[in-house]
């Protein structure tokens, strides 16, 4: 397959992403390459997760290198999977959305306030670290991403986002903290804690699957959590109290061993009961 030249791509695609890196000191080659490849990787992820019928094949071309500044254009290679085509204005809108998302995610990382479900894979975090590393140690370093549209030979900037070296250093530190958080164990065991029901269900549940019941363990959290039975014996004993005992299950406390199942690097998601030690009466 013959690769297209820069001028050929310019003739085919009127909308491009431009990355400008301003530095006072020379950039290490690895950091230079990482800044550009991380952008291409993130754009591919953005298209894949945002648009069902579109795919991309990003190509990065260094357009200009001068003292204190490196500029490169990214041709997105956007292609519609279905029969429909992607017009010039559609491409512009996609690139604008991407720059806005890029800026938003960088701001999350700078503040250390990443929403649940975002930036959870080592590959994503590496790409963001690569984006920041190229200017992090430079006295006047700057990183600017632009979505530009060429019309009648004139370049129009539709969206842009810029960060400086101090912000890049904050991002790198928060990425390292997030890596450590995500590396925490996904389960945590607690012995002989008091569990009470806030919602019960007479039906059986498969071991290891959510039962449809909710319980609260105040020693661990003031919130009710889904209940998972981690052993058949524990399920049999507890279900007996729900189905057949004369007393109200909501007026009973269960002294249990539980495994706290966690997501997102430490957020409790469910309690898995692995052993029942005692049942006690509790007052209103």
Which tens digit of pLDDT belongs to each residue from 226-254? 999 998 899 989 988 888 776 788 889 99
What's the rounded Cα separation, in Å, for the pair 80 and 264? 33
What are 33-70's pLDDT values in tens digits?
A: 899 899 999 999 998 888 877 888 888 788 788 878 88
268 has pLDDT over 50? yes
Nearest to 133 by CA among 18, 45, 19, 21: 21
DSSP state of 53: T
Q: What is the pLDDT of residue 2?
A: 53
User: Could you tell me the two tokens for 84?
Assistant: 């429909």
| Average pLDDT of the chain, as a whole number | 84
150 neighbors 220 (Cβ within 8 angstroms): no
The pLDDT, as a whole number, for residue 155 is 84
Dist. CA 10–CA 268, nearest whole Å: 50
Closest listed residue to residue 204, CA positions, set 215, 212, 196: 212
Q: pTM for the full model?
A: 0.62
CA 136 vs CA 21, 26, 28, 60, 133: distances in Å: 11, 12, 12, 22, 5
Give the range with max mean pLDDT: 10-19, 131-140, 177-186: 131-140
């Amino acid at each position: 397959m013959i690769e297209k030249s820069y001028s050929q791509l310019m003739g085919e695609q009127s909308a491009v992403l431009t990355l400008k890196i301003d530095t006072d000191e020379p950039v290490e080659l690895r950091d230079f390459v990482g800044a550009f490849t991380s952008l291409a990787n993130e754009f591919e992820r953005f298209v894949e997760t945002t648009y069902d019928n579109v795919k991309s094949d990003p190509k990065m071309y260094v357009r200009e290198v001068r003292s204190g500044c490196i500029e490169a254009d990214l041709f997105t290679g956007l292609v519609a999977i279905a029969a429909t085509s992607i017009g010039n204005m559609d491409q512009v809108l996609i690139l604008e959305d991407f720059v806005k998302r890029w800026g938003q995610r960088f701001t999350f990382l700078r503040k250390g306030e990443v929403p649940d479900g975002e930036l959870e894979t080592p590959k994503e975090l590496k790409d963001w670290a690569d984006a920041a590393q190229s200017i992090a140690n430079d006295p006047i370093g700057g990183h600017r991403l632009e979505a530009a549209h060429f019309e009648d030979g004139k370049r129009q900037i539709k969206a842009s986002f810029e960060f400086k070296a101090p912000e890049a250093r904050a991002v790198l530190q928060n990425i390292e903290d997030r890596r450590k958080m995500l590396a925490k164990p996904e389960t945590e065991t607690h012995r002989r804690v008091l569990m009470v029901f806030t919602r019960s269900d007479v039906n059986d549940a498969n071991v290891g699957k959510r039962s449809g019941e909710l319980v609260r363990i105040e020693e661990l959290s003031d919130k009710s959590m889904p209940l998972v039975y981690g052993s058949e014996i524990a399920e049999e004993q507890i279900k007996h109290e729900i189905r057949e005992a004369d007393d109200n299950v909501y007026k009973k406390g269960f002294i249990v061993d539980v495994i706290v199942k966690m997501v997102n690097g430490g957020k409790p998601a469910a309690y898995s009961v692995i052993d029942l030690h005692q049942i006690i009466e509790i007052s209103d």
